[in-house]
Amino acid sequence: MSHETISQSISIVHPISLSHGKNAEVWDTTGKRYIDFVGGIGVLNLGHCHPGVVEAIRDQATRLTHYAFNAAPHTPYIELMARLTTFIPVTYPVSGMLTNSGAEAAENALKIVRGATGRTAVIAFDGAFHGRTLATLNLNGKVAPYKQKVGVLPGPVYHLPYPSADNGVSCAEALKAMERLFSVEIDVNDVACFIIEPVQGEGGFLALDVEFAQALRRFCDEHDILLIADEIQSGFGRTGQRFAFSRLSIEPDLILLGKSIAGGVPLGAVVGRKALMDNLPKGGLGGTYSGNPIACAAALATLDAMTDEHLHAWGAQQQHAIVSRYESWRAQGLPYLGRLTGVGAMRGIELANADGTPAPQQLAQLLGLARGAGLLLMPSGKSRHIIRLLAPLTIEPVVLEEGLDILEACLKQLD
Residue 152 confidence (pLDDT): 58
The more confident residue out of 9 and 112 is 112
User: What is the per-residue pLDDT for 155?
Assistant: 76
| pLDDT exceeds 70 at position 2 | no
How many H-runs (helices) and E-runs (strands) does the chain carry?
12, 15
Q: What local confidence, expressed as pLDDT, does residue 144 receive?
A: 65
Sheet of 33-36: strand order equals 18-22, 25-28, 33-36, 375-376
Q: Assess whether pLDDT exceeds 70 at residue 150.
A: no
pLDDT tens across 351-364, in order? 999 999 999 999 99
What is the structure's pLDDT at 183? 97
pLDDT of residue 33: 98
pLDDT band at 169 (very low <50, low <70, confident <90, very high): very high
Mean pLDDT of 6-35: 94
Sort strands 346-351 and 386-389 into parallel, antiparallel or unpaired: antiparallel
How confident is the model over 300-311, as a mean pLDDT?
97
pLDDT at 343: 96
SS3 of 365-384: HHHHHHHHHCEECEEECCCC
Average pLDDT over residues 389-410: 98
Residue type, 191: V
Q: Return the pLDDT at 132.
A: 86
Which segments within 79-174 are labelled E, that is strand?
Answer: 94-99, 121-125, 157-160
Q: Which amino acid is at 36?
A: D
* DSSP-assigned letters across all residues of 191-229: EEEEEE-SB-TTTTSPBPPHHHHHHHHHHHHHTT-EEEE
pLDDT attached to residue 3: 76
Q: Indicate the pLDDT class of residue 141, thresholds 50, 70 and 90.
A: confident
Q: Tell me, yes or no, if the pTM score tops 0.75.
A: yes
Contact call for residues 188 and 182 (beta carbons, < 8 A): yes
Interacting residues of 169 by C-beta distance below 8 A, sequence separation 6+: 161, 162, 163, 209
- pLDDT tens digits along 47-87: 999 999 999 999 999 999 999 999 999 999 999 999 999 99
| Number of other residues whose CB lies within 10 A of the CB of residue 89 | 13
Q: What is the pLDDT of residues 180-238, one digit of tens each?
A: 999 999 999 999 999 999 999 999 999 999 999 999 999 999 999 999 999 999 999 99
What is the model's pLDDT at position 326?
98
> What is the chain's mean pLDDT, rounded?
95
Domains, the chain: 53-305 (3.40.640.10), 308-411 (3.90.1150.10)
Q: What is the pLDDT of residue 172?
A: 98
The set of residues, in sequence order, having a beta carbon less than 8 Å from that of 226 and lying 6+ positions away, is 113, 116, 117, 192, 193, 194, 220, 253, 254, 276
So what's the pLDDT on residue 1?
Answer: 58
Q: Are 193 and 216 in contact (CB under 8 A)?
A: no
Instruction: Determine the pLDDT at residue 8.
Output: 87
pLDDT digits (tens, 9 = 90+) for 261-283: 999 999 999 999 999 999 999 99
Give the mean model confidence (pLDDT) for residues 118-144. Answer: 87
Q: 339: helix, coil or strand?
A: strand
Question: Do 229 and 255 meet the contact criterion of CB atoms below 8 Å apart?
Answer: yes
99-107 mean pLDDT:
96
